[in-house]
Each structure stands twice: as structure tokens, then as C-alpha cells.
Structure 1
Amino acid sequence: MTLPTAVRIRLALENAIVDGEYHPGDRIDPDRIAADYGCSRTPVREALQALETSGLLVVQPKRGTFVTKLTVTELMHRFEVMAQQEAFCAALACRRADADDLQAIRTSLQACEEAAQAGDSDAYYARNTQFHQAIYAAAHNPFLRAETLRLQAMLQPYRRRQLQARGRVQRSMAEHRAIADAIKAGDSAAASQAMTDHVLVQGERFRDLVAMLDSLSSRQAG
């Protein structure tokens, strides 16, 4: 079944934003997208409206449509919510994960290990996403999973750049092991705390985040 053009455009743009082809603050050119897809502006407009609703894009009157660029405060607020949602997923997974769920978590953890050992932050970023999503699925709460996926997509451009900080991949990998071990042991308190510590931006990670935003501003100003 062929997807409607508006849906194909939305999915392609969402993937491009999440994968870092577009950066926070970048302008989206509707005419170029329409030309690329050989379509009118109508499906492009529908796709952009859907991405605006999801929080990935923001429309600025008389200026255009841009990839959402959050301030440090806005990011902190979203990471706080993300930490709680992911911690809840991890806690539920301790009680509800079946054998297939645990295998999916182990498989994604191993993929993370391989990417980390290769020193490939881009590959690790993709495997990291799969690891987290395996835990969302293991919580067996479709509404929580959908809401967590939505916020994950919004924060992915920032989480991706965080992984480029020196030593962050290795620290992230150690945190993943602690989360997976706690879920395997069925220790919901430990899993929840380990996930909160993993996601929440604080201390040196907060300073790295501020530096990252400064870097983005400098790149766009240039």
C-alpha cells in the first residue's frame, strides 16, 4: 500500500531531523520539498503542520518554518519529564517484561556495546535509540510508550549531540548496563533510579548541554 504524499513527506522530514540532517534552528524550505516530491504545496503544508503539532517544528509568522530550537530552560524541563517517563517504563518493565522483551533489551544492549567499542558515536546513537525503545515496549503500556516516543523524537537532535561529548559514549554504555541488569533482576527501584540518572541532565552534562547550544547558535550566526 502506497502511503499518501503528505505522510511520506512527514516521515522523511521526521527522520531527517532525528538523524541530524537538520539541526535545531534550521529553516525548512517548503518549495524545495514540493519540488523534491513533485507535488503541490498542499501535502507539504499538511506534513509541516503534523510536525509542528508533534513539537519538532515551529512556525514563525512572516519568517517561515524552523526545526524547533529549545532554550536551556526548555530543554531542562523536557529532560525532567523524559527522565520520569523513561524511569516509569523501566520500572514497569521489571514487572511486565516477558522473555521476548528481555531478549530485545539484551540484543540492543549488545549492539550498543559493539558501537561503543568501535568508537562510532553515530552508530551508537542509533543503537541507543533502539535500546530505549525496547524498554518502552517492555513496559506493556501503549499510551505511555506513545507519549515517551513522542518526547524522545523531540529530544533526539540534542541527545545525539550529547553523545559527541568526549567520553560520553563510554559513560552512557555503563549506565545502559546498570539499567539492563536491574530490569533483568526485576529490581524496579534500581531500574527507575538508574534510568533517571541516565536521562536527567545535570552536573557536567548540563555544562556540556549549554556549550552545545552555544555551538549551534554560533554555527547558525555564521
Structure 2
Amino acid sequence: MPPQAVLSDKPKPASQPRTRTETLRARLADEIVSGVLEPGTPLDEHELANRFGVSRTPVREAIRQLSASGLVRVRPHRGAVVALPTPRELNDMFEVMAELEALCAGLAARSMTVVERRALETLHQDLRVLVHKGDPASYHDKNEAFHAAIYAGSHNSYLSELTLMTRARVAPFRRAQFRAAGRLGGSYSEHDLIVQAILRGDQAGAAAAMRAHIGIVRDAFRSYAETATG
């Protein structure tokens, strides 16, 4: 088990709030997808609480959330263990994610207001700065805001809610792929195609660019996972 690492209480920017549960979930997810915590490893709540310097409540909630992504298997009366979705299960999740996000992007190209389009451009430029800084953690956080802006820009609240829910399940895998060499620059270039299609009101083009982007994200995670665990 890695050494104790107390979770930081440093305040997050208002646009990117992160609770102790969210921070813990991200840390554990990173260790699972990178192979530090191998499938079958028991996750003891008391041990994890001591290691990260938190109470058992955020640990319990983080384990519950990781279970929804297939990274943890909770066994009744026997505790939780590390697990990973099968390649088929992961592919199924990304396939649905790609179609939902493509639909959001297409509708955003048709429905986004001028103010929303300008906000999306600003987020896109913020991501460019983070590419030059080589900061995958901050890029991941800003990337979530970028995609969320497109979901909201679809002006379909049910679709936005469904897409956010699905994104939460694949979030650990999307986060991990940013560690692959050259991935930040690649992600930004893919985003640029999406943004330009949305700005010119190209519904079909925005949907196609987003669908291709999520497919590349899936393949990038696969490559990262093979390198990290192989």
C-alpha cells in the first residue's frame, strides 16, 4: 500500500469545486487504472481513511462512486475489492458516450446563443494555455467544463443530464489518458474542430467531430493502460 498522503484542504477555484470525496475518488481511480492497485486488492475503509487523513464517510462514498464506473466491486458482507471493466464493457461505455456527446455538439451548433459561443471559445483558449504548461490535472478539470458547456449549449436538459451521468462513469478513464505523451495537444486539436463547427453552425460537422474525438479518447486510454500495466 502506498504511503500516507493527506488530502489537501486547499480551496479550489469557484468554477471547479472539489470535495474530499471527489479528490479521493480521483486519486483511487488513478491508482487503479495505472495498475498501482491491482484487480482483487481489498479496499479497507479504515486503512484508506488513515492513509488519506479523512473520515470513513468520504471513503465510503468514493468507493460507491467508483463502483458505478466498474473500478470497484462491492461484495455484500465481504467488503470492496478493486475491479476493472472488461474491454467489451469499456467499449460499450465509450460507444454510448460518443453518441450522446455527438448529439449534444450537434444541437449546440444549432442552439447556442452568442454569449454561450463566446464562453466556449474562452474555455478553448484556456485549454490551449494548459497544453503549453503541460499540466494534465488542470487540463482535465478545464476539459470537463468545456464539455459541460457543450452539453448545456444543446438546450436540452434531459440530454444534458443523461450525458453528464454517463460521463461520470467514464471519467476515470478519460482522466488517465491525458498522461499519454502528446495527448494534451491532440485533445486540443480535436476540440478545435468541434469548436469551429459549432461556431459556424454546422450541426452535422460538430456531431462528427465530437464522435471522432471520443473515439480517439477511448483509443488513447487503451494505449495508456497497456503501457501503465504492461
Q: Could you tell me the TM-score, scaled by structure 2's length?
A: 0.73
1:172 Cα deviation from its structure 2 partner: 1.0
Query: Which of the residues 23, 48, 51 maps onto 2:32?
Result: 23
Q: Which moved more, 1:67-76 or 1:127-136?
A: 67-76
Q: Distance in 2 between matches of 1:16 and 1:45?
A: 10
Q: Give 1:196-207 correspondences, 5 Å limit.
A: 196-201=211-216, 206=219
Mapping for residues 160-179 of structure 1, pairs under 5 Å: 160-179=175-194
Letter in 2 for 1:106: E
Q: Does residue 102 in structure 1 map to residue 117 in structure 2?
A: yes
The one-letter amino acid of 1:23's match is I
Q: Aligned Cα RMSD in Å?
A: 3.1
Pair 95,51 (structure 1): closer, same or farther in 2 beyond 3 Å: same
Given that 1:76 and 1:201 are in contact with CA atoms closer than 8 Å, whether structure 2 keeps it comes out as no
Match of 1:141? 156
In the alignment, which residue of structure 2 is the partner of 1:3? none
Identity of paired residues, percent? Answer: 36
Kindly state the Cα deviation for residue 60 of structure 1 after the two structures are TM-superposed: 3.0
Report the secondary structure of 1:143's partner residue.
helix
SS class of match (1:70) = coil
Q: Retained in 2: the 8 A contact 1:87–1:195?
A: yes
What is the DSSP-based 3-state SS (H/G/I as helix, E as strand, rest coil) of the residue aligned with 1:23?
helix
Aligned pair in 2 of structure 1 residues 32, 103: CA closer, same or farther (>3 Å)? Answer: farther
CA contact (8 A) 2:105 2:210 kept: yes
Other-structure match for 1:111: 126
Q: 1:76 aligns with which of 87, 91, 97?
A: 91
Q: Is the CA contact 1:136–1:148 (under 8 Å) kept in the aligned structure 2?
A: yes
Deviation of 1:124 after TM superposition, in Å, equals 1.5
Quote the offset at 1:15 in angstroms.
Answer: 4.0
Cα distance in 1, alignment partners of residues 32 and 69 from structure 2: 16
Could you tell me which amino acid in structure 2 is paired with residue 131 of structure 1? F
Q: How many residues align?
A: 204
